[in-house]
Amino acid sequence: MRRGASRPDTPQRADAAARPCAPRHRRTELALFLRRWLAHPLRIGAIAPSAPALARAMAEAARTDLTNGNLVVELGPGTGSVTRALVAAGVPEERLVLVERDRHLHAWLEGQFPRANVLLSDARQLDEILPVGQAGRVSTVVSSLPLNSLPRSERDEIVRAAFRVLSDDGSLVQYTYGVPSPLPCEALGLTGRRVAFAAANLPPATVWRFSRAPADRPAHPSARNPD
């Protein structure tokens, strides 16, 4: 299921991911996205891939300081528009873990980002599927998941799994089409902040960044995994 985890880091080559999509490639991507939306509208949760303005805003909101071998995890990358923006913003493909549940989109992502670790899995299992030793070394989880159309229990499981793998000062970046926060901060022990608004997206979207509320931060790294 997991690919590429053991490959050594190589200097960033943003070529494939950062170059603008050729029109034919873009059409193929849109057609794939539409087919997957027709098959599972609620799971896909958007009628089109994120527009470049939203993808850039998500990438800018992500902490991309990857010292100490930290990683960036993306949940629900779809056809990879946010992924491309992350690479263009300087995240080496080798430091990206992409978690996509749809096998057609997973296969597409493997072709688009051959040096990333592309996992065919459910975001709820994030802490179980990360390569050994990488939990706690994730600086940002970037989520394009349709959190508002998921059952509350599933949404909460995903958020908890994300914060189990994030470093102590790590954050979760999520967009929403609504006005209020896409997450109930108090109930989940988080603080949330609106960090960007992308008007040039269909529909316009707001980007939020969530961190552990101060009382929820483990006093010591070992507190994350008491075992």
Ligand X SMILES: C[S@@+](CC[C@H](N)C(=O)[O-])C[C@H]1O[C@@H](n2cnc3c(N)ncnc32)[C@H](O)[C@@H]1O
List residues near ligand X by CB under 6 A.
43-46, 49-50, 75-79, 81-82, 99-102, 105, 122-124, 144-146
**58, 175 contact by CB (below 8 A):** yes
Residue number with CB closer to ligand X (14 or 51): 51
Closest distance between ligand X and the C-beta of residue 40, in Å? 7
Q: What is the DSSP letter of 5?
A: T
Closest distance between ligand X and the C-beta of residue 116, in Å? 14
Alpha-carbon torsion angle 225, 1, 156, 163, nearest 10: 40
Closest distance between ligand X and the C-beta of residue 172, in Å? 14
**55, 80 contact by CB (below 8 A):** no
What is residue 209's three-state secondary structure?
Answer: strand
Q: What is the DSSP letter of 90?
A: T
The rounded distance, in Å, linking the Cα atoms of 64 and 44 is 26
Residue number with CB closer to ligand X (66 or 205): 205
Closest distance between ligand X and the C-beta of residue 168, in Å? 24
Residue number with CB closer to ligand X (42 or 219): 42
The residue number whose beta carbon is nearest to ligand X equals 76
Residue number with CB closer to ligand X (76 or 182): 76
